[in-house]
Amino acid sequence: LTAIGFGIVTTTTTIFHLMALSTGPLSLTTVIMSFSMVINALSGAVLWNEKLSVLKIVGIILMFLCFVLTVRTNSSDSIVTVKWFVFAVLCSISNAAIGLLQKTHQSSEYRDELMPFLVISFIASAVISLVVYLFTSKFKHNASDSAEPNASAITEPKTSITAKPLALIVVIFLVS
């Protein structure tokens, strides 16, 4: 279950990161995503009784300082939106969950079963990615069908899965 959860949060981190990058600035997205390290450092102290070293505390303070210094104060200069901020925060939370699940697995009695953990994680991630791909390509296909005939030439081309690339993906997946 931990491996499946790891696959889920790995995939959601990637999805939310791409969504944040497509709706907002790279610089602020990176800063907010990096906040996940603060969550991991604090959770280590709270959940696993790890010591917060002076270096970790300085790093946390610098992360907050970096965020404060990158925020624009003039509302007319604002380059961020609520949509972007939600994606960036969800990306950071799911990125923190990656570290938490890694620590949970490596602290458990199953820590020596790293390869099965990773294989199950990657299978879960691949299945989720395929489902998201099929869902979004179906959504794009339906949206282009309802558009005006002349407008469809301007929109993205329809996506379909053909047998040859799908077979190649399956072969690569099985070999690896």
* pLDDT the model gives residue 76: 47
DSSP secondary structure of 35-96: THHHHHHHHHHHHS-----HHHHHHHHHHHHHHHHHS---GGG----HHHHHHHHHHHHHHH
CB 117, CB 110: distance < 8 Å:
yes
* pLDDT the model gives residue 135: 87
Question: pLDDT tens digits, the chain, 176 residues: what are they?
Answer: 999 999 999 999 999 999 999 999 888 898 889 889 999 999 999 999 999 999 999 999 998 888 778 765 555 456 778 999 999 999 999 999 999 999 999 999 999 999 999 999 999 999 999 898 888 887 776 666 655 555 444 455 555 666 677 777 777 767 76
* pLDDT the model gives residue 168: 74
Amino acid at 164: K
* pLDDT the model gives residue 152: 46
